[in-house]
């Protein structure tokens, strides 16, 4: 944490835990008997509970979206660029909730939690989650917090898919939906990259069919490779080129397999740090949730029909150099929303940063997201005023 905190930071935050003893029926047909969700909130819920915004996280994300946990944290939450007093998602006006998804590895019930039926950790026995399961569990948290309808549900990448699912599954509980850098379904190439990541983890001899923690080990190499290949898809070819080019780490080529190019060093570092701080079973589960998401598939590939239940206003945002979920995938979604007669705004933001752009500051992105959220805050406050 910086010595002098910016006035646009939410400052120090403390995660909270909500425990649910009501069973959750899952898409896979299994039931989660009880579970905990860890979450953070920023800002204050108004009297009518009409100013709540739900933040949905992506593959390797978690509940810590903004601010700092400790004064000695070097980095703030993953979406601190966009959440805070005066930021796009303005915590002076909104009550923001950010939750770690079920199956995660940051405090919510997941593969590393104890399976009450066995007394062992769940490990690979933890049921596979779908985006719909997450929506239902997040709705239980909203009930607990007394929130009937979210002013907005917001998310990027896999988070954007949760936003879409919220709008379709629980339309009466979503006033506005912001779908960023997402896609209505993964392409064969997207699935292929996920499958390489899964095979890297599952073929690591330290994986032990997912029981690595009972063997006091971790499938580090597998997770490291999965992250390396994932990371390439998060950056654009241009941003990798601009950042690393063909720059050497060494004075000259060493004609061997130690690090030579800067980009090799960067990838190895990304893989190494990730391999000890993220859970392999969670990574597997998250990639499957991505692969499975396909609302149109449940409606004879008719996306407008799948979206027909939604009643909220939509903002869809894509980034020009995102090749993981390219702008064309967002346009598919926008076209389907329009064909379904929905109210939708769309912006394709010029950015050199590929898929990762959704996490980064960007003037036009902030103008678009901030503008949409400001209109919502105005509506909320006007309605609250009428109500008062």
Q: Give strand ranges (E) for the chain.
A: 16-20, 24-25, 31-32, 35-42, 52-56, 83-84, 89-90, 95-99, 152-156, 176-180, 313-319, 343-349
Nearer to its own copies, 293 or 372 (CB): 293
Among 192, 273, 277, 341, binds its own copies (CB under 8 A): 192
64: annotated active-site residue: no
Structure letter (DSSP) for residue 55: E
Among 1, 18, 49, 128, binds its own copies (CB under 8 A): 128
Catalytic residue among 157, 236, 275, 351: 157
Q: How far is the CB of 329 from its own copies (least distance, A)?
A: 10
| Bridge partners for 28 per DSSP | none
| Bridge partners for 154 per DSSP | 55, 178
Among 232, 340, 383, 384, binds its own copies (CB under 8 A): 232
Spell out the residues 6+ positions from residue 100 whose beta carbon is closer than 8 angstroms to its own: 37, 38, 39, 57, 62, 63, 106, 107, 108
Nearer to its own copies, 47 or 195 (CB): 195
Among 189, 250, 276, 378, binds its own copies (CB under 8 A): 189
Q: Under rule CB under 8 A, how many of the chain's residues touch its own copies? A: 53
> Contact between 102 and its own copies (CB under 8 A)?
no
Residues 20-59 binding its own copies (CB under 8 A) are 27-29
Among 36, 73, 143, 291, binds its own copies (CB under 8 A): 291
Catalytic residue among 63, 108, 322, 353: 322
Structure letter (DSSP) for residue 124: G
Rounded (5°) CA angle 305-306-312:
100
> Contact between 255 and its own copies (CB under 8 A)?
yes
| Bridge partners for 317 per DSSP | 180, 347
Rounded Cα distance, 162 and 159, in Å:
5
Q: Which residues are annotated as a binding site for substrate?
A: 227, 356
Q: Which residues of the chain form contacts with its own copies (CB under 8 A)? A: 27-29, 127-128, 185-189, 191-193, 195-196, 198-200, 202-203, 205, 221, 224-225, 228-229, 232, 235, 237, 240-241, 243-246, 253, 255-257, 260-264, 267-268, 271, 284, 288, 291-292, 294, 297
Q: Which positions are catalytic?
A: 157, 322, 355
């Amino acid at each position: 944490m910086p010595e002098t905190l910016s006035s646009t930071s939410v400052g120090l935050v403390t995660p909270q835990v909500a425990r649910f003893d009501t069973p959750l029926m899952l898409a896979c047909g299994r039931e989660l008997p009880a579970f905990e969700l860890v979450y953070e909130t920023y800002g204050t819920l108004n009297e009518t509970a009409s100013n709540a915004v739900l933040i949905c996280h992506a593959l390797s994300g978690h509940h810590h979206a903004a601010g700092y946990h400790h004064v000695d944290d070097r980095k703030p939450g993953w979406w601190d660029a966009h959440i805070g007093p005066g930021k796009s998602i303005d915590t002076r006006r909104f009550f923001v909730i950010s939750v770690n998804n079920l199956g995660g590895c940051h405090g919510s019930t997941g593969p590393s939690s104890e399976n009450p039926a066995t007394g062992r950790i769940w490990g690979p026995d933890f049921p596979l989650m779908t985006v719909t399961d997450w929506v239902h569990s997040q709705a239980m948290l909203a009930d607990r917090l007394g929130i009937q309808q979210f002013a907005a549900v917001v998310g990027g990448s896999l988070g954007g898919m949760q936003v879409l699912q919220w709008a379709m599954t629980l339309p009466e509980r979503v006033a506005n939906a912001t779908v960023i850098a997402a896609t209505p379904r993964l392409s064969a190439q997207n699935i292929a990259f996920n499958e390489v990541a899964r095979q890297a983890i599952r073929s690591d001899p330290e994986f032990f069919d997912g029981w690595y923690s009972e063997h006091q080990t971790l499938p580090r190499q597998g997770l490291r490779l999965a992250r390396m290949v994932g990371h390439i898809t998060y950056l654009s070819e241009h941003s990798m080129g601009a950042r690393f080019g063909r720059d050497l780490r060494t004075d000259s080529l060493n004609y061997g397999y130690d690090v030579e190019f800067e980009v090799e060093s960067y990838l190895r570092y990304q893989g190494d740090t990730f391999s000890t701080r993220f859970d392999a079973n969670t990574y597997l589960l998250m990639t499957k949730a991505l692969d499975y998401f396909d609302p149109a598939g449940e409606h004879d590939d008719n996306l407008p029909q799948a979206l027909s239940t939604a009643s909220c206003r939509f903002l869809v945002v894509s980034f020009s150099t995102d090749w993981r979920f390219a702008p064309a995938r967002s346009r598919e979604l926008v076209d389907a929303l329009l064909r379904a007669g929905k109210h939708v705004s769309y912006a394709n933001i010029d950015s050199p940063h590929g898929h990762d752009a959704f996490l980064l500051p960007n003037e036009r992105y902030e103008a678009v997201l901030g503008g949409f959220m400001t209109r919502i805050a105005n509506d909320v406050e006007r309605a609250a005023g009428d109500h008062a």
